[in-house]
Structure 1
Amino acid sequence: MNTATDQAAPTAAIIGAGPAGLVAARWLREVGFRITLIEEDIEVGGQWRVGGPQSSVWPGMRTNTSRVMTAFSDLPHPPGTPVYPTAEQMGAYLRRYAEQSGILTDARFRNRVDEVDPDPAGSGWRVRATTVEGRSWEERFDHVVAATGRYRVPTIPPLAGLSGFNGIGGVIHAAAYRGAEAYRGQRVLVAGHSISALEIASELALRGAARVVVAARRHRYVLQKILAGVPIEHRVYTRYAALASARRSPAESAAALKSLILRTSGHPAQFGAPCASEDPYEAGFTQNQFYLALVAEDRITPRPWMAGVTDQTVRFTDGSTEDIDTIIFATGYELSLPYLGSRARAALAPDVDQADLYHHTFHPDLPGFALVGVYHQSGPYFPTLELQARWVAYTWGGRRPLPESTEMAAHIAALRPRNGPPPMLRMHTWARLLADRAGVEPVPAHWPELTRALHFGPQSPASFRLDGPDALSDAAQRVLEDAAAFGAIPDGTLTVAERAQLDALTARGDH
C-alpha cells in the first residue's frame, strides 16, 4: 500500500466515513493522493456505528448478506465471525479497516460539510465546513469524493388522517426503529415490503408483539436469506447470471428469475401471502428467512395499502380496518446531497430519487468530483463500493482513462426525462460494469482452475484482485475458499448442467 506523504501529492477530500468513504480513501491513498476524511460523527462507521447520528441500524441487527460478501478485499472477517455479522461487529470491522489502511492520519471528525463547489479561482474544489463547536473553515482540494450514502433522509408518504393517529406507540420511520422490546404486547403495522420492512415485521412477531400487520402497495416475491446453508447471494449474484442476463430477453430473464424463486423459496400464495404480479419484475422481490413462514402461521397478516387513518383505526384500500397501536413506515429514503454548491447542484440537478451522473459516479462538467456509494442496489454492497472506489482512484491516478465527456453526456441524456426512481441496480451486473471500468474483472481463461468458482460462485471481493492493477498473490486461493465457504461450490469440477450453461454462453460469443 502506498504510504507516501509527499506534500506535492494531489489532495482529495472524502465526505463521509462510512463504508463508501473509507474504501474511497483507502484506494485514493493507494494511487498517491493525500487524503482528508471529513466526518460529522465522532467515529468511523456511518450506518454501521450503532447509535451514531447517521445510523439507522438497531442494536444486535444482523447483516442481510454473508460475512464473505460484507467485507473488502484487504480484510476478511476474523475466524469465528457468524455467517451474518451483527451491526456492532460491522462497526468494529470498519474501524479495523480504517486503521489498517492508514487513512485516519488527517481524519477530521465532528466536522459537518456545508458546501462543496468548484474553486472559482481556478481548478480544484472549495470545501466549507463547520466544527461541532461552531468554528467554520474553508479549504481547497484537488479532488472531492461525496460518500455520504443513499439512505439518509427517511420518507413517509402522505396518508389521510395520519397526523391524527393516536395509537400509544405513535408513528415512526424504520430509521428510528431500535428493536422489538418497545413494542411487546402492541398491535404494530409495518408499512412497506422491502428487506427492512420484513426484517422488522419478523422480529416483532418473534419477540412479543401482540399482532403484526404488513401493509404494502406492492407485495413482492420473497427469497429465503439462506438456502440449504448457502446465503442466497452466493447463488443468485454470480458472473454466470450477469453474463446470461445480458443475452436474455426481458421475458426470458423474468422466467428464469421466477423459476429460481419458486424452486428455492416457493410462491407467496403457498404461504397465504399476496403477490402483486406473476411477473417477478413487476411484483419485485426481496428476501427474508422468516416472513413467509410467519404469514403461514398467522403471526403476520399481510394487508393492501392504507386508505386513511382515524384515531387509531387504519382503513385499507380493500375496505377492511385494523385498530393499531404503532405504525412503522419502512418506505425508503430520499437522495440528499445538501452540501452541493450552486455550480455542482446545477450540473447534477438532483431530485429525491437521482442525480445526473455517468454510472452513478462522474459528471462531465465537474472534473475532480465523484460520488461513491450513492446508489440504490439489491445484493451485497461492499464489493461494488470497493469497485467504484477503485474506478475513481485509477481514473484520477492515471491508471485508467477518464471517460470521454461526450460519452458521459450521452449516458446522462439517455436517463432523461426522469419518471420516478431509476431501476434498482442488481449487484452482479453492476459489479461487472464497475470491474470492467476499473480494469479488474477477472479473465477466466487466465484461471482455468477457477472456472467453476468464478462463474457459479459468489462475486467475492477477492475475485476482483486476480487480474489488473493491485492483484494479490493469494487471491486465487481466497476465491476457492469463498466459493466453498458455505458449500455452494465445494470443488472445482463443473456439473453437467454448469458445463452446458457455459457452452451455451460461449456459443453466443460470451466468455
Structure 2
Amino acid sequence: MAQALLLASTGLWDIEMEHHGQRSFLPMGQFRTPVGQWQIGEDVSAKATSNEANCFNLELTQTSGAGPSGLVAAKTLLHDVAPATFKVTIYDAQPRIGGLWPLTKDDAAGLVHPLMVANQSKHTVQFSDLAWDDSVPQMPKAWQVGQYLKRYAEKYGGADVRLGHKVVRTELQQNGAWKVETESEEGPQSHTFDHLLVTTGFFGKPIWPDYLPKEAEVPIIHSSKYRDLKSLLAKGNQKGHKILVVGGQMSGIEIAGTIATHLSSAVHGPGERPIDNPGKYSIQHVAQRPSWVFPLFTSAKPLTNGSGHISVDSAKTFNSIFQSVLGTDQGEFSPDVKISDDLIEHQPFLAMSSHYADFVRSGLISVSQGRVSSLLGNTAVLSPSNEKIENIAAIVLATGFDPCPSLDFLPSEVLETISYAPSHPSLPAALAFHGTHHPSLSTLGFVGFYRSPYWGVMEMQARFIARLWTTPEPSQAWKEALECDNSIQNVMNLRPDPRLAQFPMGDYAFLMQEFAKALEMKISTPKETPPLANGKSMDILTPARYVSEGATQSQLAEVEKNLACTHETALGGLTKARFVAQAVFRSLLGEWKLERDLVSKLPSHPSGRFVGTAKFLLRQGTADGRNVADHDDMGMEYLYIEDGDFMASNGMKFRATRRYIWRYDETRDVLSVWFAKTDDNMRADYLFHDIEFIVPDADDEVAQTKGWQAKASHLCIEDLYNVKYEFKFQAVNLKEWRIGYSVNGPKKDYTISGVYRR
C-alpha cells in the first residue's frame, strides 16, 4: 500500500453566445477556448511507505486544507486504480476539509469569503463523476463549492483524514521513500511513505509589498481578508473618504467591484446603514495597466487566454478578439481603462467582474495608472507620475499570493532539483509534463501546482500520477508523450520573458488534450446543439467529457448528469431566452438619459413629453414584498429613480419623479419590476410585473435585426397595463432600450413610449 500527500487549486469562467443574430447569455465555463481563470490553492503534500507487494500507503497531507487537488488525487488513487493499491492518509492543518473553500455561509476565517461568487461556472468547477445539485446557481458561491467538495469526499471516501495536522518538514530517503514530520495538538509526529504528492496550489500566503508597512495611520488589509465595510473601516481615518485598492489584475478588479457593490448597497439600501455616512466614500483603484474586464456571463466567440510567450502579433490578435467580444475598447467607461494604441501590442490581462466597469463609468471607482511607491499618513504617492492620492480611509492590497510557502516543507536538495525560484512566483518550480513530476524524483508528484488550474486539469494530473506510479510497462503513447515533453525547459525559458502570458502554463483545452493523449483517453462525443451564427455547433469542454476507464455504474450516472446539465444550459441559451434577463439586469447599472412621450385619447389626461435621467442604483436584495422563506438568497436588486421635466401639451411644465425596485431572480431566471412604497420609497411594496423575454423566430428576418423583445402585463384595479420592452446590445453591453405602455380602463386610454440611452 502507498501513502501520499496532496495540495490543491481551482478556477472558474463564463460565456455569452450569438444565435441567429440574437445575443444569448451563458455562464458556461470550459468551452474549447476559455476566457480566463482564477485559482485557489491549498498547502498539501503526500508520502507513502510500501508494506506489501504492489501495495502502497499514500498519505495526503495539507497545511491549509484538504482542497480540490488533494481530494481528487485521493479519490483517483483509491477508486480509479486496482483496489487496495493505495492506502491514503490526508493531513490537514485546518479543522475541516475544503482548503480555501469554506463549507458554510458563516465560515469566514479563511482566505475566501463564503459569499464570494466564483468566477467560473459549475460546468467548470466540477469533477467528472460528481454532479452539482440542480438548485445551485450557474455561478456558485464559495460555500457552495465547499459543500460540493464535502459531498465528493463523502462519496469517494476511504482516505484516513487527519484534520488539524500540519506538515512541517519532509526528508527524502535513500530508497526513495519520504519521511514526513507533522505538528498537531497531539504533538510532533513522524511517518515514512513510498510517495509524496504535493497538491498545495499557488496560494501559499498573501503578498505584502515591501513599500507598505504592516501597520499605518490607515488600516491596510490583503484582499483575501476583506469581509465587509464595517470591519474594513472600523479603525479607519474618519476624515478620509477614499478606499485605495492596489493591484490591477483579477483580484484587484474583483475586490474593487465587490467593495463598490457594498458601498452602493449601503447608500441606497433601506433601513440601518452598516457604516456612518457611506455616501462620502469612493474607491481609488491603482493598476499598472488596464485589463480586459469580462462580465461573468460573456461571449461564446472563440476565446483563448494564450500561454507561455505572447508575441506582438499574438497580442494584437488576442486583444482584437477581446475587444470584439466585449464590443468596446473600454474607453466608454473611462479613458483610464481604455485598451488601445500601444497597449494592443502588449500581452492581454483578463479579469472577471459583473459591475466593475459600470462602477468606473459612474465614478464610484476611479482608476489611476502606476504603482504605489510610498505611503505617508493618509497619502499615497504613485510612480512614475508622482500623483498623490490623499484622504485615504483604508487600503486593500490585491497584490496576489506567494506560492513558495506551499513548498517550504520540501528539503533543500529537492527544491534545487526542481529549480525552485522564489523570485519567479508565476513559475516557482520547473516540473515535467505540465507540472506533474520531475524525472529524477520518481516518488514525488504534483497535482494542481500552477496558476489557475481548472478542475478538469487537476483530475487529469491525478490520473497521470496514478499511471506514473502503477504502470511498470508503459504504452507507446505514454513513452512518446514523455519523450516529447519539454515542460521543464519551457519553464526555464519563460522565467525571464518580459512577454510572459498572464497564465503561462497553457490553456485548458490544450492541457486536457495533452493529458488525454498520454493517458490514451478519448473525449466523449458532445451532445448536439443548434448551430451558432457561424454555422458551427458548440463543442463544450467539461471534465465529464473524459471518463475514467472502469468507471462504475454510479460514477457513469454522475457523468451523465453532468453532461445533461451542461447541455441543458447551452440549449437554454441557444433556443430560449435563458440568461438574457441576467445580462439585462447586469447592464442596467448606472445612469441613463430618458425621453418619454405620452399620448392620451382622453382630455382629462393631457399628452406630453418627459425628459430627464433614470438611475439604477445597485443594492443587496431585500425581503420587502416577497416571501423570504422562498428566497433564502435574495441576490441583488436596483433602486430605480427617474427625475426630470414633464411638458404637457397644454403648456404646463412641472418636475416629475418616480421610483421602482428592479429585481433578478436567478432561480427562475426572471427580471421583475416592483412598485415602491408611498410612505418609504426606498422599499418595495408589491409586484408591478415580471418581464417575459420572447425568443425570436429563426425564420423571421425582421425579428433578427431587432434587439431582445419582452412583454409584461399588469391589472391595476380596473386599468390594464400592457408593456413591451426592447433591449439592444452591442456585444455584451446594453446600449439602448425602449419601453412602451398601453393603458386602458374606464377612465384611462393612453400610450407611453420611452427610450433609454447611455
Shorter chain as denominator, the TM-score bin is 0.7 to 0.9
Q: Within 5 A, what are the aligned runs for 1:353-372? A: 353=425, 354-358=428-432, 359-372=434-447
Name 1:316's counterpart in structure 2. Answer: 382
Instruction: For 1:116 and 1:452, locate their aligned partners in 2 and report how far apart those are by CA, in whole Å.
Output: 54
| 1:165–1:309 Cα contact (<8 Å) kept | no
> Structure 1 CA distance, aligned partners of 2:140 and 2:107?
18
Spell out the pairing of 1:24-103 with structure 2 (5 A cutoff): 24-29=73-78, 30-31=80-81, 32-49=85-102, 55-103=110-158
Aligned with 1:146 (options 169, 178, 198):
198
Q: Is the 8 A contact 1:167 1:326 kept in 2?
A: no
Question: 1:393, 1:10 → 2: CA distance?
Answer: 12
**Aligned pair in 2 of structure 1 residues 478, 89: CA closer, same or farther (>3 Å)?**
closer
Question: Is residue 2:346 matched to residue 1:267?
Answer: no
The answer to whether the 8 Å contact 2:295/2:354 transfers is yes
Q: What residue identity is the alignment partner of 1:60?
A: L
- For residues 53 and 111 of structure 1, what CA distance do their matches in structure 2 show? 21
Counterpart for residue 333 of structure 1: 401
The residue number in structure 2 matching 1:504 is none
1:185-225 per-position Cα deviation (integer Å, ceiling 9, x unaligned)? 95211111222222211121121261101101121111221
**Structure 1 or 2: more helix by fraction:** 1
Unaligned runs of 5+ in 2: 1-50, 264-277, 577-697, 699-758
Aligned-pair CA distance for 1:269: 1.2
Amino acid at match of 1:331: T
Q: Is the 8 A contact 2:292 2:322 kept in 1?
A: no
* 1:303 positional shift: 0.6
Distance 1:477 1:99, change over 3 A: closer
What does residue 127 of structure 1 align with? Answer: 180
Equivalent residue for 2:449? 374
Kept in 2, the 8 Å contact 1:68–1:460? The answer is yes
CA distance in 1 between partners of 2:403 and 2:479 (Å): 25
Q: Which moved more, 1:10-19 or 1:43-52?
A: 43-52
1:483 is displaced (CA, Å) by 3.5
Instruction: Give a deviation string over 1:444-468, Cα, whole Å, max 9, x none.
Output: 5xx6958979973432121112x85
Deviation at 1:113, TM superposition (A): 0.8
Q: What amino acid sits opposite 1:321 in the alignment?
A: K
Structure 2 partner of 1:109? 163
CA distance in 1, matches of 2:528, 2:134: 26
Q: Please give the alpha-carbon distance, in whole angstroms, between the structure 1 residues aligned to 2:252 and 2:408.
A: 27
User: Corresponding residue for 2:510?
Assistant: 429
Alignment partner of 1:226 out of 273, 288, 297: 297
Residues 315, 346 of structure 2: 8 Å contact kept: no
Query: In structure 2, what is the equivalent of residue 291 of structure 1?
Result: 356
For 1:456, which of 510, 514, 538 is the aligned residue?
538
Larger radius of gyration: 2
Contact 2:481 2:518 in 1 (8 A): no
Q: Which moved more, 1:291-300 or 1:79-88?
A: 79-88
Q: Is contact 1:155-1:331 (8 Å) kept?
A: yes
Q: Does the Cα contact within 8 Å between 1:113 and 1:339 map onto a contact in 2?
A: yes
1:172 match: 221
CA–CA separation in structure 1 for the residues paired with 2:136 and 2:164: 31
Q: Give, in whole Å, the separation in 1 of the partners of 2:545 and 2:461.
A: 15
Provide the residue aligned with 1:12 in structure 2: 58
Judge which range, 59-68 or 409-418, deviates more.
409-418
Does structure 2 retain, via aligned residues, the 8 Å contact 1:221–1:280?
A: no
Q: 1:103 to 1:191 in 2, by over 3 A?
A: farther
Query: What's the CA shift for 1:58?
Result: 1.2
Alignment-derived partner of residue 71 in structure 2: 22
Q: Percent identity?
A: 23
Moved more, 392-401 or 192-201: 392-401
Amino acid in the other structure paired with 1:393? A
Matches within 5 A, 1:183-262: 183=232, 186-208=241-263, 210-227=281-298, 251=313, 254-262=316-324
CA, structure 1 residues 477+77, in 2 after alignment: closer, same or farther (shift >3 Å)? closer
Query: What SS does the corresponding residue of 2:466 show, helix, strand or coil?
Result: helix
Judge conservation of contact 1:181–1:207 (CA < 8 Å) in 2.
Answer: no
User: Whose RCO is larger (CA < 8 A, sep 6+)?
Assistant: 1
The one of 366, 375, 393 equivalent to 1:301 is 366
Within 1, Cα distance between the matches of 2:72 and 2:350? 29
Measured against aligned partners, the alpha-carbon deviations of 1:464-489 in whole angstroms (never above 9, x if no partner) come to 12x85649655567435414415455
Kindly provide the amino acid, as one letter, of the partner of residue 330 in structure 1: A
CA deviation after TM superposition for structure 1 residue 178, in Å:
2.1
Distance 1:132 1:54, change over 3 A: farther
Deviations 1:299-324 (A, max 9, x none): 10001222322211112233332221
Q: Which residue of 1 aligns with 2:642?
A: none
Count of residues in correspondence between the two structures: 466
> For 1:479, which of 563, 568, 577 is the aligned residue?
563
The answer to whether the 8 Å contact 2:315/2:348 transfers is: no
Residues in 1 aligned to 2:292 and 2:189: alpha-carbon distance in whole angstroms:
50
**Contact 1:235/1:456 (8 A) holds in 2:** no
| Deviation (angstroms), 1:293 | 0.8
Distance 2:479 2:509 in 1: 22
CA contact (8 A) 1:117 1:343 kept: no
1:419 alignment partner in structure 2: 496
- Structure 1 stretch displaced more, 27-36 or 341-350: 341-350
Query: Helix, strand or coil for the counterpart of 1:48?
Result: coil
Q: What residue identity is the alignment partner of 1:432?
A: Q
Question: Deviation digits for residues 117-158 of structure 1, max 9, x if unmatched?
Answer: 3223x232222212234x222222121211122112111233
**Contact 1:483/1:489 (8 A) holds in 2:** no
Contact 1:214 1:302 in 2 (8 A): yes
Give 1:395 shift.
Answer: 2.3
SS of match in other structure, 1:89? helix
SS in 1 for 2:456: helix
Q: Render the CA deviation track for 1:40-75: whole Å, top value 9, x for unaligned.
A: 111100010268799311131111111221111121
Distance 1:262 1:307, change over 3 A: farther
The equivalent of 1:506 in structure 2 is none
Q: Report the AA paired with residue 340 of structure 1.
A: L
Q: What's the offset of the Cα at 1:164?
A: 8.9
